[in-house]
Each structure stands twice: as structure tokens, then as C-alpha cells.
């Protein structure tokens, strides 16, 4: 693949020096493009995974619409990433053999964390994701294409899991035993959020749907800088964004830590994150939304365990894996985190109660 040739399909002002592969995502292939000029930005060039995303021009349209909207607004002062058009005029480059690509500016002097080093970062992440969510409050959700239908729908995810169990290789089902039990034990409780969405108790809003900590950029002074990875912007519940952040910010370990004794819930990070998040967007949330935040956090940990396990049972066709058991390790990690969260449930509830009453 000639990265330089793809980069040069876009209308940027820099000249290509070299690329570095960015390893962190599980779906797309991402490169940092370094430019020769000191006064030109570096860029992020991304090949969008077309087996996961079926309508890529619409996906890119979502990202462009939202970033333009946010740039015009920027009430929170956060930096908004900018997409660069291609020479054809589209915001993507496509060729049948090369697939779909998009280019955005790279934000210099920014840091990413895979787990939260302290409660100050947890609080900053809360403010950053909360402001992003707040700023999109008056963006018309009907303008957004649903990039992956039913992405966080628990019933749908449970159906896919049950199909996978029925078709899976017996040895994989056996090694997934402890996770399968955790799913059976918790699934009824998890369906509550779906029900509250379906009966209109919880409103659909514009959500990011992938608010893990590594999708937040920080300045060198550890202040929240920008939210990245806008591929899954879709209508959703606030709980999806709140919960996915809690999943990563309030875990003692990365999502693929194998040693489960190192995986536990950090209540102090939960308190800091929730304080930051609600300070930024609490004013637009209803009582019902706030009351269900703790359930939202458990929901997102559970759904990620479920999705990783389903992919393991399907012989790893969705998430990038680095070794054969990687998805099973991720699933076990998420169910260990869920168990630890359940031990902190009362504490979490009283922390949220204090913040919302
Ligand atoms: C995937 O590719 P990446 O790392 O941005 C996944 C998210 C998961 C995440 C878990 C489209 O995101 O839903 O939360 O892995 N994205 C998609 O780390 O499925
Ligand atoms: Mg993503």
C-alpha cells in the first residue's frame, strides 16, 4: 500500500515525510503522517474498515457535519478535529482496490491514556466528554446516518451472542464457560435500559458511542483537549457515552489485561469522572436519565464483554486480535470488572445521588 500516494489524494498543504502506524484501534487502520514543513500540521490518515462499516460515505458525512457544527459553536473551548477534503471534492478517497480513506489534522502536543493515571485525568475526561455531549444537544439527530444499526441494543447483541453459541466450536464454548454464566446471570437486569429506551422513558440523543478514555486527547498539562474517533456518532442514550467512559476510566487495568487479579473497579475515579461529566452536561439530563447512570455504566461493561465473547465464538471476524485468545481475554476482563463494579454498587449509587440531588 502506497501511503504517500493515498495521502497526496487529499487537499493538504504539507509535503509527505514519513508515516507511523497508530496501533490502538480495533477496527480501522490508522497512520500518522509526518510532514516536512515546520509550519504545516501532521495528519491522521485512516483506512475505514468496510466489513464493519457498510455505508462509508454516509459515515464520513456524519463526521463532517458534526465537526462543522461543533466548530461553529465550541462553547466548551475544546479543540475540534478537522477533516480535509480529497481532490475530488469528497471528504474521502476511494478506489476499489484501496478502499475508503479519510484524512484529518493531527493535534500536536497531545497525549492519550489507555488507563487513567489519577483522579484528575478522570475528572478532566468527564468534563471533556460531558461538554462534547452537551454541545451536540441541539444538533438535529435526524441528520445523522445510523452507521451501525442497533449498535448498543442489548436485545440484538444477546441474539447475536446466542446464535454464536449455537454455531460455535465446542472447545471455544467450553473455554468461554465462566463468561457465558456471567451473561446468563446478568442479562435480565441489563435489558432494563433497553426497555426504558423503547418505552420513551429515556430520550434518544446524539451520542458518540465510543467514549473510551483513549478517544480523549489531553494537553501536556493534562487538560482535556479534544474528542476523537467520530465513526459511531449516532442517536443513542447518554448512558452509552457515560458508561463506555466509566468502563475504561474506572478500571484499574486495560481492557485486555490477562491477570484478572489486577482488574478491579476504581470508585474514586468514578466519583471524579461523574463529577466532571455532570458539571458539563447535567443541566440537560432528565431525572430518569440521571437515576440510571449507574445501570448505564454496568450496561456498557456487560455489552463489551458480550461483544468480545461473541467475536471469540465466531472465530474472531470483527475485532483485530493480536493472539488467538485475545477476544476471550478481553471478555473475561470485562466480566471481572463488572463483578467488581457490582461490589461497589451502593457506593456508586450514593455518589450519583449526592451529585444529582
Ligand atoms: C472498537 O476500533 P475502536 O478501538 O475505536 C469498537 C467499539 C469498542 C472498542 C473497544 C465500530 O473501537 O465499539 O468499544 O473497540 N468499535 C466498533 O475497545 O465496533
Ligand atoms: Mg472507535
The average pLDDT across 76-97 equals 93
- The whole-number pLDDT of residue 75 equals 62
Compute, in angstroms, the gap from residue 354 CA to the centroid of ligand 2.
32
Asked whether 124 lines ligand 1 (CB < 6 A), one says no
What's the mean pLDDT when you consider all of the chain? 96
- pLDDT confidence bin for 169, thresholds 50/70/90: very high
Span 119-356: which CATH code?
3.90.1200.10
Nearest ligand 1 atom to alpha carbon 248: 18
- The whole-number pLDDT of residue 74 equals 64
Closest residue CA from atom 4 of ligand 1? 25
Of 291, 137, 292, 273, the closest CA to residue 216 belongs to 273
Compute, in angstroms, the gap from residue 24 CA to the centroid of ligand 1.
10
Compute, in angstroms, the gap from residue 212 CA to the centroid of ligand 1.
9
Compute, in angstroms, the gap from residue 232 CA to the centroid of ligand 2.
7
Q: Where are the domains of the chain?
A: 3-108, 119-356
- The whole-number pLDDT of residue 73 equals 83
Closest residue CA from atom 8 of ligand 1? 210
Tens digit of pLDDT for each residue in 9-61? 999 999 999 999 998 899 999 999 999 999 999 999 999 999 999 999 999 99
Give, for ligand 1, the residue of 23, 26, 52, 304 to mutate: max count of ligand atoms closer than 8 Å to Cβ. 26
Which contiguous run of DSSP H or E holds residue 285?
none
Compute, in angstroms, the gap from residue 146 CA to the centroid of ligand 2.
15
Residues 6 or more apart in contact with residue 152 via CB below 8 angstroms: 209, 236, 237, 240, 300, 303
Query: Which own/partner pairs from 254-260 qualify as long-range (CB within 8 Å, at least 24 positions apart)?
Result: 254/114, 254/115, 255/212, 255/304, 255/330, 255/333, 255/334, 256/326, 256/329, 256/330, 256/333, 257/333, 258/329, 258/333, 260/332, 260/333, 260/336
Compute, in angstroms, the gap from residue 230 CA to the centroid of ligand 2.
7
Nearest ligand to residue 151 Cα = 1
Closest residue CA from atom 14 of ligand 1? 210
DSSP β-ladder status, 205-207 and 234-236: antiparallel
Closest residue CA from atom 15 of ligand 1? 26
Residues 6 or more apart in contact with residue 159 via CB below 8 angstroms: none
| Contact between 244 and 212 (Cβ < 8 Å) | yes
Span 3-108: which CATH code?
3.30.200.20
- pLDDT confidence bin for 77, thresholds 50/70/90: confident
Q: Quick check: 352 pLDDT over 90? A: yes
Query: Would you put residue 265 in left (φ > 0), alpha (ψ -120 to 50) or beta?
Result: beta
Tens digit of pLDDT for each residue in 126-144? 999 999 999 999 999 999 9
Q: Quick check: 318 pLDDT over 80? A: yes
Amino acid at each position: 500500500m502506497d501511503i504517500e500516494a493515498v495521502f497526496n489524494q487529499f487537499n493538504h498543504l504539507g509535503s509527505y515525510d514519513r508515516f507511523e502506524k497508530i496501533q490502538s484501534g480495533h477496527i480501522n487502520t490508522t497512520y500518522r503522517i509526518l510532514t516536512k514543513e515546520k509550519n504545516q500540521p501532521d495528519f491522521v490518515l485512516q483506512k475505514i474498515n468496510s466489513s464493519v462499516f457498510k455505508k462509508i460515505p454516509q459515515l464520513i458525512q456524519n463526521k463532517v457535519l458534526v465537526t462543522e457544527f461543533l466548530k461553529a459553536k465550541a462553547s466548551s473551548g475544546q479543540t475540534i478535529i478537522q477533516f480535509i477534503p480529497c481532490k475530488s471534492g469528497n471528504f474521502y478517497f476511494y478506489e476499489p482496490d484501496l478502499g475508503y480513506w479519510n484524512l484529518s489534522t493531527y493535534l500536536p502536543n497531545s497525549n492519550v491514556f489507555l488507563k487513567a493515571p489519577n483522579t484528575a485525568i478522570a475528572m478532566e475526561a468527564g468534563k471533556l466528554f460531558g461538554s462534547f455531549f452537551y454541545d451536540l444537544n441541539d444538533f438535529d439527530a435526524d441528520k445523522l446516518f445510523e452507521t451501525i444499526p442497533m449498535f448498543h441494543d442489548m436485545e440484538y447483541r444477546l441474539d447475536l451472542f446466542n446464535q454464536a453459541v449455537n454455531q460455535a466450536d465446542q472447545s471455544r464454548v467450553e473455554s468461554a464457560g465462566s463468561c457465558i454464566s456471567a451473561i446468563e446471570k446478568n442479562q435480565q437486569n441489563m435489558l432494563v435500559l433497553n426497555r426504558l429506551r423503547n418505552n420513551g422513558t429515556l430520550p434518544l440523543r446524539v451520542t458518540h458511542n465510543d467514549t473510551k478514555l483513549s478517544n480523549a486527547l489531553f494537553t501536556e498539562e493534562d487538560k482535556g483537549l479534544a474528542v476523537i474517533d467520530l465513526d459511531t456518532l449516532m442517536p443513542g442514550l447518554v448512558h452509552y457515552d457515560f458508561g463506555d467512559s466509566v468502563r475504561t476510566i474506572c478500571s484499574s487495568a486495560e481492557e485486555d489485561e490477562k491477570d484478572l487479579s489486577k482488574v478491579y473497579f476504581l470508585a474514586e475515579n468514578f466519583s471524579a469522572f461523574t463529577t466532571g461529566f455532570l458539571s458539563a452536561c447535567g443541566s440537560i439530563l432528565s431525572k430518569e436519565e440521571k437515576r440510571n447512570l449507574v445501570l448505564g455504566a454496568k450496561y456498557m461493561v456487560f455489552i463489551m464483554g458480550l461483544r468480545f465473547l461473541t467475536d471469540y465464538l465466531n472465530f474472531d471476524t470483527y475485532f483485530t486480535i493480536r493472539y488467538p485468545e485475545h477476544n476471550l481475554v478481553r471478555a473475561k476482563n470485562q466480566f471481572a470488572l463488572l463483578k467488581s463494579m457490582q461490589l461497589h454498587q451502593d457506593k456508586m449509587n450514593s455518589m450519583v445521588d449526592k451529585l444529582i440531588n
